[in-house]
A and B are shown apart, each in its own frame.
Chain A
Amino acid sequence: MLYREAGQFKTNYFADQALFPIRQDQIGIFLILAVAFIGVPLTASDFVIDSIINPILILSLAAIGLNLLTGYTGLLSLGTGAFMGVGAFGCYKLTTFFPGVNIIVLIVASGFLSAAAGIVFGLPSLRIKGFYLAVATLAAQFFLSWCFIRIPWLYNHNVSASIEVPERTLFGIPVTGPTATVTTRYIIVLTIVSVMTWLASNLIRGRIGRTWMAVRDMDIAAELIGIKLYQTKLLAFAVSSFYCGVAGAMLVFLYLGNAESESFNINQSFLVLFMVIIGGLGSLLGSFLGAAFIWGLPIVLRALPDYFGVPVHPSTVEHITFIMLGSLIIFFLIVEPAGLARLWQIGKQKLRVWPFPY
């Protein structure tokens, strides 16, 4: 009864094309944003924000990036970690070259560096498809990781081969570096993620998104109806890497504080891929759900023995966490191969017809 669009009439094209055409959705998204921007900073502890919410938001952005490529354009990529790394190391170099420029501008600019890298490594995608392409993107992963170690210029010849985040301020308030408060960083992350998600959702609804989906569904047919495959695929690589690059820069500058090549290795790529698949291919909401699931689950599993007061050796907990994580991944794939986002859609449909079964 509560969630039903009956009686909501659209009287102009503008209303018809709105991002959230149903009033309940509009209220819902407003409430979520209000809670995220005002409620969370006021109530949640620094620990929760810093070690759970912040990384989930940042990784969601990376997952959105990969989802644009894999879920919407159908190009499987295992180089996400490397593209995030390009963003992070690029942003670090930019802060060195332009110390006076606003840090937000630099984070977004580093996304463009990452996009350039994405285009270069996306070049084989016209000839190679499927798992062959996935392995080809691994070339990007290994080559770029190697660069992050072997080219000392990238980390300013630092002895520890890691990048340290310098302190930068915005309107006089420190936003990066050791003195920035958790809440400030959270607000910045939330703002960037919200804006970029909004951009992505509009991109997908528009012409570009539709060409991507046409290529995903069948690229030869897409070519026949006049879609230029090469431009479309490369654009998907560029936009996807842009998102991953911004996510990588944020990961280092607004969450980790310092990083080295290890933070952007192959495991990072796999982690983001898990998020996309568990969350749901071709769904922005799924990227958030997947990120929350993959990041949150190990934290919950680790906390469980303490919660029940069972004394277990920490390394045993670690191993059992691995087993549980693997089993849950398989379980979710069996229950809902289309991902968590599909569960949400089913729930929404149920709400809509409630109290009737269908």
Chain B
Amino acid sequence: MHLLYMIFIDPFVQMGTAPDLLAQTLWEGLVAGVLYALIALGFVLIFKASGVFNFAQGIMVVFSALTLVGLYAHGVPAFLALAITVGVMFLLAMAVERFVLRPLVNQPDIVLFMATFGLTYILIGSGELIFGGDPKVMISDQLLLPSGAYQIKTLGGFVQMQKIDIAAAVIASLMVASLAVFFQKTRIGRALRAVADSHRAALSVGISLEYIWVVVWFAAGVVALATGIMWGARSNVSFALDIIALKALPVLILGGFTSIPGAIIGGVIIGVGEKVGEFYWGPLFGSGIEEWFAYVIALIFLLFRPQGLFGERIIERI
């Protein structure tokens, strides 16, 4: 009886009596969710265009952030370093297409999935070899990102908002908006959507798959860089960050593997759910439920909608 009370009534009583705490938790969840959504966005871009479940997305986040910080540490001005990092991500996209995707075209999904694991190892090894494995501080001041926090007096208490979090949310929304425009309005964007619909049909109307793959991996690389900067500014840049890739997976299954809005909304649901769950229900189970809570939310969703919230309906034929 007590347990039921603790699960079903007490957390809501707490929410009601301290609305400022609830607002703070919701805000933190929202910010975490935006960052999850950014990673999920990288996954979705690649999955839509090449059907590859890119496990290396998490490590691409770390690798790009590390390149940026490493270049700056070697005396390159911050914005030049940013430009060079974008260039590096482009080269990476070219290399992946040439040496991984092209030889493996038409192989089963699981083989391509496995190949991205190989890519993960290469990126971890070369990142640590070139820039060293110790955690680094993101150069957020040099990139003119704001620091500090706003204190908002509301709901009978204070809600603290880090400026960097607000910047992250703004940049993420800008990024999603520009991607949406890119997909809907530009020539390359149309080609990308065509490839996502059907590889063969796209090929037959003269769209070059190789070109599209480079573009998509490059776009995912840029998204990874943005994620890396934002996440790096909140904590340090280190290879421990690759765990966030695993955090993004429930977001993916929640939003659907093929939907960009799904990635965003899924990210926010998971981020908020995780923080609220940890804060209000966590003490009940002993803390640390953040690790698997997202997966449980996603699993429950999956049981009712196997294709995710916005995924394309799965139709099976014999």
Residues of A whose CB lies within 8 Å of any CB of B are 70, 76, 124, 127-132, 135-136, 138-139, 142-143, 145-146, 149-150, 218, 220-221, 224, 266, 270, 273-274, 277-278, 281, 315-316, 318-330, 333-334, 337
Is A135 a contact partner of B107 (Cβ separation < 8 A)?
Answer: no
- Which of B103, B126, B286 makes the CB contact (< 8 A) with A323? B126
Is A218 a contact partner of B302 (Cβ separation < 8 A)?
Answer: no
The smallest C-beta distance from B315 to any residue of chain A, in angstroms, reads 11
CB contacts (< 8 Å) of A316 on chain B: these are: 129
Is B114 a contact partner of A277 (Cβ separation < 8 A)?
Answer: yes
Complex Cα distance A220/B286, Å? Answer: 43
Is A135 a contact partner of B121 (Cβ separation < 8 A)?
Answer: no
CB contacts (< 8 Å) of A220 on chain B: these are: 316, 318
The smallest C-beta distance from B131 to any residue of chain A, in angstroms, reads 11
Selecting from B171-179, B223-231, B289-297, the interface stretch reads B289-297
Is B298 a contact partner of A139 (Cβ separation < 8 A)?
Answer: yes
CB contacts (< 8 Å) of B246 on chain A: these are: 138, 266
Could you list 9 further interchain pairs (A-B, Cβ under 8 angstroms) beyond the known A131-B53, A132-B253? A136-B253, A136-B295, A278-B114, A319-B126, A320-B125, A326-B122, A326-B124, A329-B115, A337-B108
- Which of B99, B299, B306 makes the CB contact (< 8 A) with A139? B299
Complex Cα distance A136/B107, Å? Answer: 24
Is A326 a contact partner of B118 (Cβ separation < 8 A)?
Answer: yes
Is A143 a contact partner of B100 (Cβ separation < 8 A)?
Answer: no
The smallest C-beta distance from B292 to any residue of chain A, in angstroms, reads 4
Is B303 a contact partner of A127 (Cβ separation < 8 A)?
Answer: yes
Is A142 a contact partner of B292 (Cβ separation < 8 A)?
Answer: yes
Complex Cα distance A218/B317, Å? Answer: 10
Is B253 a contact partner of A135 (Cβ separation < 8 A)?
Answer: yes
List residues of B (29-51) whose CB comes within 8 Å of A's CBs.
Answer: none
Is B121 a contact partner of A323 (Cβ separation < 8 A)?
Answer: yes
Number of residues on chain B facing chain A (CB within 8 A): 50
CB contacts (< 8 Å) of A224 on chain B: these are: 318
Residues of B whose CB lies within 8 Å of any CB of A are 53, 99-100, 103-104, 107-111, 113-115, 117-126, 128-129, 133, 246, 249-250, 252-253, 257, 285-286, 288-289, 291-292, 295-296, 298-299, 302-303, 306-308, 314, 316, 318
- Quick one: which of A132, A149, A324 has the most chain B CB within 10 A? A132
CB-CB under 8 A for A143 and B296, given A132-B306, A322-B125: yes
CB contacts (< 8 Å) of A130 on chain B: these are: 109
CB-CB under 8 A for A325 and B121, given A136-B299, A142-B291, A150-B288: yes
Instruction: Name the residue of chain B whose CB is nearest to the CB of A142.
Output: B292
CB contacts (< 8 Å) of A124 on chain B: these are: 299, 302-303
Is B288 a contact partner of A146 (Cβ separation < 8 A)?
Answer: yes
CB contacts (< 8 Å) of B126 on chain A: these are: 319, 323
CB contacts (< 8 Å) of A320 on chain B: these are: 125, 129
The smallest C-beta distance from A281 to any residue of chain B, in angstroms, reads 7
